[in-house]
Amino acid sequence: MRTTRILSLFAAASVLPASASAQPAMPQPLSAEILADAPDKPKADWLRAHIVAQGKVTGGITFTFPNAFYRNRLILLGESHGAAAPQKLDLELLTHLNQRIGLVDYLAEIDPVQADYFNRYLETGDEALLKRVFDYWTKSGAQWGNRAFEDKVRAIRRLNATLPAARRIRFVGIDSVQDWKLVAEWIAGSRDQPAGSFAAKAASDRASAALAALGDKPGDVAVELRATLADIAAGQNRETVIFNNYTRAVRGGKLGNRPAYGLWGLFHVMQAGVNKTQPFAALVAASDLPAAGKTASIAMFSLDSAVQIPVPFPDGVKRLRLTNFNIDGPFVMVNGAATLRAASEPATVTLFDTGARGSPIAATDFGQITTSVGQSFVPDEPGPRAHRLMQYVGVFRDSDWAPPRE
């Protein structure tokens, strides 16, 4: 969630250096050569013939996935944070999976302590629990600090109220630690913690201090937090921490062989190497876990849409509603953007089964991404078909931003 990490395609825009004036430095547009794009008509026609979900960008999506989709053990929706449409899709897909296959485990991009706060909110309706998690994202400049996400958690609570106990959705937090102050509060059982709790500069030092404070505190959340902190203290990178937490949840019985679903930043859901790095989903694909070979990754892209970007000004971070961070320029270019436009309609969300039999979609289609605001995406193996990276590709058009909580 932190915008200084490669959590989502456009997150780096929030760390543009501020100028000495009242305006931040602006990114430079990509070159005309990179932005040059034309629709591939045969591929667009093929995509239109393989639509598996479609509806208005404001909600009301119909799902027509093939039966094989529902046999997956792990389903990941990847997006670039800051737009409203993916939050709508996320809630509707989660509801659909709950109804269709009884899925209850929402594998969120949050750590074990944040998941505990969310789950207690789902049980009690105590808004202070929800507020505590979102306040951190709001103050830190993370794009998760938006009303669309917060309202979605409330909607999950309302959904749970209509379901029998065995079908109620719960959050499973497998991410690395985000809010160290919240961890300190959780360990102490009190909010009266100094601002510098576990404030060492190095994450490994913070984790070591937190482990010492956690001691042998009992409970399932403490067990999950202890393992997470041990990984961080050992210097594991974020993708490995996420993978290890998922592995422990599966093998330890919290997830077992049940299906899990979650919304993540686009990078995490790629099932093969990108930029010589193995994302979470790629680590799962290469493992001996039940989800190896049974993971569905859905990559979502934006056209004609607005996004919330936290931008540092000299007088502090401001959340701007920007419309120039779509996948067809000027700052981001997804290979095949014009083909996605040709295959979709205005004001809609559309998902395509790019891994269907006979797919003409290559790994560089939609998987190769060039930006002037952060790290570009280059698949490590450009030759294989796109379904090695993601099995479904979606596009949303004319979405509003996910408005900030302020």
**Across residues 120-141, what is the average pLDDT?**
94
Domain layout of the chain by residue ranges: 11-173+259-397, 177-238
Answer whether residue 18 shows pLDDT above 70. Answer: no
| Structure confidence at residue 33 as a pLDDT band (50, 70, 90) | very high
**Across residues 279-308, what is the average pLDDT?**
97
Least confident of 4-13, 15-24, 73-82, 127-136: 4-13
pLDDT reported for residue 84 = 97
pLDDT reported for residue 11 = 37
pLDDT reported for residue 374 = 80
Average pLDDT value over all residues in the chain: 90
**Across residues 325-343, what is the average pLDDT?**
96
**Across residues 162-175, what is the average pLDDT?**
98
| Structure confidence at residue 198 as a pLDDT band (50, 70, 90) | confident
pLDDT reported for residue 91 = 98
Among 269, 265, 331, which residue's Cα sits nearest to residue 30? 331
Q: Which residues pair with 54 in a beta bridge?
A: 62, 350
pLDDT reported for residue 129 = 97
pTM: 0.93
Q: Using H for helix, E for strand and C for coil, what is the string for the chain? A: CCCCCCCCCCHHHHHCCECCCCCECCCCCCCHHHHCCCCCHHHHHHHHCCEEEEEECCEEEEECCCHHHHHCCEEEEEECCCECHHHHHHHHHHHHHHHHHCCCEEEECCCHHHHHHHHHHHHHCCHHHHHHHHHHHHHHCCCCCEHHHHHHHHHHHHHHCCCCHHHCCEEEECCCCCCHHHHHHHHHCCCCCCCCCCCCCCHHHHHHHHHHHHCCCCCHHHHHHHHHHHHHHCCCCHHHHHHHHHHHHHHCCCCCCCCEEEEEEHHHHCCCCECCECCHHHHHHCCCCCCCCCEEEEEEEEECCCEEEEEEECCEEEEEEECCEECEEECEEECCHHHHHHHCCCCEEEEECCCCCCCCCECCCCCCEEECCCCCECECCCCCEHHHCCCEEEEEECCCECCECC
User: Residues with Cβ < 8 Å from 354, sequence gap 6 or more?
Assistant: 47, 50, 361, 365, 366, 386, 387, 390, 391, 392, 393
pLDDT reported for residue 5 = 33
Answer whether residue 130 shows pLDDT above 90. Answer: yes
Answer whether residue 15 shows pLDDT above 60. Answer: no
pLDDT reported for residue 310 = 86
Answer whether residue 192 shows pLDDT above 80. Answer: no
| Structure confidence at residue 6 as a pLDDT band (50, 70, 90) | very low
**Across residues 335-348, what is the average pLDDT?**
97
Answer whether residue 32 shows pLDDT above 60. Answer: yes
pLDDT reported for residue 190 = 77
Answer whether residue 300 shows pLDDT above 80. Answer: yes
**pLDDT tens for residues 346-394?**
999 999 999 999 999 987 899 899 999 887 898 887 655 656 889 999 9
